[in-house]
Structure 1
Amino acid sequence: MKKIKYLQSEVKKGDAVQTTFEHKKSEDFKIQPGDNLYIRVNNALSTTENIFSLDQESRSSNYYNDVGIYLNSYRVSDSGYIDFPFVGKVFLKDHTLEQAQELLQSIVDDYLKGTTVIVRLAIFKVTMLGEFNRPGEYSVYESKFNIFDAIAQAGDLTTFAKRNKIYLVRQTESGSKVVHLDLNDIGILESEYYTIMPNDIIYAQPVKGKNFAFREFPYSLIFTTISTTLLLINFFKTN
């Protein structure tokens, strides 16, 4: 099996090889219609959480699959609102998660003091296309998810992938942005695109020789030669 290497280059500071890398901050994710938000209100009084929580039956089920995440989250409507228990509709479209948390905290504080509101994405999607062993759309439940986490989810790159030609498509306010990533360059650890954002698309470009390798390689000739060789060996053994 061919061994694949990543991060082959070295970054030097003076005479020393750099071993610690600081990730550049990515653009803050902004809530959009269709997003599922996990919102929890914590307080010393157990009844407080019940007031501002979704149906307790679904919460107590403790699901860990897509259905459970959906049942235990607040879906942002097409118009950008969530229906928050005891409060009503709250507009969250284009808010960052931090801004949404601050807004909901101020709303809850009008009803009860001493509470803590937690807001995060319950689930988001990342799409892996091209030369991955398991390409497809994946659900992500982690708050910190990087390019190598995404590659691992898709079963690693195939041996035909150009590791210096990985493209990331990210949705921005002005449209789709395409970014070139080189997985051989250790400097990617400091890239603002090292951290994966919701709805990112990652495309792994194949090497030019792949078509020849699969379509034009003379497999029939090889198999015929092997069969003939085995036949001759068997013939000489019996005579």
Structure 2
Amino acid sequence: MNFKKYILVGALSIAVFSCAPRQEINYMQDIDNISLDNAVKNSRSTLQPGDQLVITVTAKDMDVVKPFNQSYSSTSTITQYSTPSSNSLPQQLPVSGPTYLVDTDGSIMFPQIGAVSTKGENVETLRTKLVDLISVYVKNPVVDLKLINFKVSILGEVNRPGQYTIPDGSTTLLGALALAGDSTPYGIRTNVLIVRNVDGQITKERVDLTSAQFINSPYYYLKQNDMIYVQPNANREKSARVDPNTGLYISVASVIASLVIGVLALTKN
């Protein structure tokens, strides 16, 4: 009888210590107390060298704007990622049009105009800038501008780590985590690392997702090539150091213990 008690206590101990401790897992718990005034200021990422822009100029008279469109058109394919709750697979969306590469000096060469600086500009402000420049030659031009290679990397304790292309060139930290299937139960939500490279300057910031304070920080809206790392908690780190066959050993030990108990019972009879 005492032997059975020991087996029961051992099994309960394994079950208790194998479970992750309860943590604060709710995002932005104090959202009702936070002003969102500053969040809008950081909503658009400034353009960086290496960005690929598809720019098309149209007007009522298309013949007039032909000189402002490149003679060649490239076709790129971007991935439209589904949300974690959707069962549909990511869709490949072709984006075609005159493509411009932001040079290392932060400029693009635009037909009829020449070098146009993109430093400090985002998609919206550059569109307005091009409209103003083209308006000198064309009445009421319309400029369509898309950033087609906006990417972020999501690593660590998330369900689908990897590099993600954002079709509309803008996303939030929470939006990016949603693409990666959210943090696993073993991820530390109070200490998420973001590494950023802007104009060659590498910065890093640790964010507490359980507090809405980060909404007004420069790291709520992500920038081109941001890297997000969700750190594993102590339990995950411990399990990573444990022999991967531990579960098998426990199962075998349980079977042996059951056989021993059965043999002892038969022996007593």
TM-score w.r.t. length of structure 2: 0.68
- 2:56 counterpart (24, 32, 40): 40
Number of the residue aligned with 1:31: 47
5+ residue gaps in structure 2? 1-19, 80-91
Query: Could you say what secondary structure the match of 2:239 adopts?
Result: helix
Contact 1:188 1:194 in 2 (8 A): yes
CA deviation map 1:100-124 (0-9, x unaligned)? 3344223312321121334442331
Query: Could you say what secondary structure the match of 1:151 adopts?
Result: helix
Query: Could you say what secondary structure the match of 2:147 adopts?
Result: strand
Going from structure 1 to structure 2, the CA distance change for 1:104 and 1:228 (only over 3 Å counts) comes to same
Number of the residue aligned with 2:116: 91
Going from structure 1 to structure 2, the CA distance change for 1:121 and 1:57 (only over 3 Å counts) comes to closer
Number of the residue aligned with 2:133: 107
Going from structure 1 to structure 2, the CA distance change for 1:6 and 1:52 (only over 3 Å counts) comes to farther
Specify the structure having the higher radius of gyration (Cα): 2
Number of the residue aligned with 2:102: 76
Number of aligned residues? 228
Number of the residue aligned with 1:152: 178
Distance in 2 (CA, whole Å) between partners of 1:174 and 1:77 is 14
Distance in 1 (CA, whole Å) between partners of 2:213 and 2:69 is 43
5+ residue gaps in structure 1? 12-16
Number of the residue aligned with 2:212: 186
Letter in 2 for 1:139: T
Displacement of 1:72 in angstroms is: 4.7
Letter in 1 for 2:30: E
Distance in 1 (CA, whole Å) between partners of 2:197 and 2:34 is 32
Number of the residue aligned with 1:9: 29
Contact 2:171 2:222 in 1 (8 A): yes
CA deviation map 1:41-89 (0-9, x unaligned)? 2322233454433457657xx965589447653112344443324x164
Number of the residue aligned with 1:131: 157
Contact 2:45 2:170 in 1 (8 A): no
Letter in 1 for 2:48: Q
Identity of aligned residues (%): 25
Contact 1:167 1:203 in 2 (8 A): yes
Contact 2:25 2:189 in 1 (8 A): no
CA RMSD of aligned residues (A): 3.7
Number of the residue aligned with 1:140: 166
Displacement of 1:135 in angstroms is: 1.7
TM-score w.r.t. length of structure 1: 0.75
Query: Could you say what secondary structure the match of 2:139 adopts?
Result: coil
Query: Could you say what secondary structure the match of 1:39 adopts?
Result: strand
